Amino acid sequence: MTIDVLIADDQAMVRAGFAALLDAHDGIRVTGQAANGAEAVTLSARLDPDVILMDVRMPELDGIEAAKRILGPGYPAVKVPRIIMLTTFDIDDYVYDALQAGASGFLLKDALPEDLVHAVRVVAAGDALLAPSVTRRMIAQFAAQKPHASHGAARLAELTEREREVLVLIGQGRSNSEIAATLFIAEQTVKTHVGKVLAKVGARDRVQAVIFAYDTGLVAPS
């Protein structure tokens, strides 16, 4: 299956570079380019991409607001795209808002080419971009800045003891293989538990599950 990608960045050379890189890989096709957030919102509705590479800082409408509109209720699109936020600095406060808006992760603009391609494939497959340690650090910092949300207590209570253990490890940024090694269970069993956890807490992907774990106090920032 071909992954259709929309690139939103106010720098033409960045857009062209990303487009050339992604188009050179089998199974990935860049279907559109937007120079600002407003164009990204319009093109997303018309082109219905699978993945959007969204720059955080853009004129007219920034990437955060564009992501909120695209991922919000009532958006006129056949399917909900996965959004990867692009940022120049790993301390960009906007990333916190992006994660809460429903973004599936973020990527630094100076990432290696293979990291960009990997990110597109990962989020298109329904997972989240949680591997970089900086992502885990930023989520932890975000959680530390706000009070725990009580509305998640009921959903947390629905988890079995094993599922709570899995959610804690997800919140710590562990991969499925790392969780399997920690709990001494098969990786396929971990995948089953992760799927149940996401369903019970109402998370779209692992990034949202991490935020839920911090919001409810199940995991504390280090």
Closest by Cα among 217, 219, 221, 222 to 147: 217
Residue 215, phi then psi, degrees to nearest 5: -60, -35
CB 82 within 8 A of CB 105: no
Q: What is the pLDDT of residues 86-112, one digit of tens each?
A: 877 655 566 667 777 788 877 888 888
H or E element in which residue 33 lies: strand 28-34
Show the tokens assigned to 104. Answer: 């599936």
pLDDT in tens, 151-204: 677 888 899 999 999 999 988 878 888 899 999 999 899 999 999 999 999 887
Q: Model-level pTM?
A: 0.72
String of DSSP letters for 84-114: EEEES-TT-THHHHHHHHT--EEEETTS-HH
Q: What is the pLDDT of residues 19-68, one digit of tens each?
A: 999 999 999 999 999 999 999 999 999 999 999 999 988 988 999 899 99
